[in-house]
């Protein structure tokens, strides 16, 4: 499965909007979109989202609990929140032949933001 950074951004925006409280639980098989579940797992493993994956040996399936973004998750999301900046960062990276990695999307989006407010690019 290929990582979809547009989906990552969309999921992180939704996680950020979650009300304070107990984690939101997703059960494998309960959510039809396995791509979404795989991306949630990647976000937890990357340290962008606070959550827990509970592996099950039975028929009930694995459970993923999502509570909030980490500091680093908030920093990335703040860099790419504006859809215009996100689109420009993606376009810049794709035109240069680079991948849409976490580090590069954040760096390019931050550079775009700095230039828009009149600060040196970095």
Which position has the token pair 């990357």? 46
Q: What is the pLDDT of residues 56-67, one digit of tens each?
A: 665 556 678 888
Q: Where are the alpha helices (DSSP H) in 1-122?
A: 5-16, 34-45, 71-80, 83-95, 102-116
Q: In 3D, which of 49, 112, 99 has the Cα closest to residue 75?
A: 49
Q: What residues contact residue 47 under an 8 Å CB cut-off, 6+ apart?
A: 70, 72, 73
Task: Please tell me the distance from the alpha carbon of residue 99 to that of residue 86, in angstroms, as a whole number.
Answer: 14
Query: What domains does the chain contain, in order, with CATH numbers?
Result: 5-75 (1.10.10), 81-113 (no CATH)
Q: What is the pLDDT of residues 97-118, one digit of tens each?
A: 878 888 889 999 999 988 888 7
pTM of the model: 0.82
């Amino acid at each position: 499965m290929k990582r979809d950074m547009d989906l990552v951004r969309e999921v992180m925006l939704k996680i950020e909007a979650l009300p304070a409280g107990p984690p939101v639980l997703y059960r494998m098989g309960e959510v039809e979109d396995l791509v979404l579940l795989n991306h949630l797992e990647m976000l937890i493993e990357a340290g962008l989202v606070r959550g827990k994956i509970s592996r099950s040996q039975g028929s009930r399936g694995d459970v993923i609990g999502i509570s909030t973004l980490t500091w680093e998750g908030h920093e990335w999301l703040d860099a790419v929140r504006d859809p215009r900046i996100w689109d420009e960062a993606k376009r810049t990276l794709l035109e240069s032949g680079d991948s849409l990695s976490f580090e590069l999307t954040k760096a390019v989006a931050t550079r775009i933001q700095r230039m828009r407010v009149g600060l040196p690019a970095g």
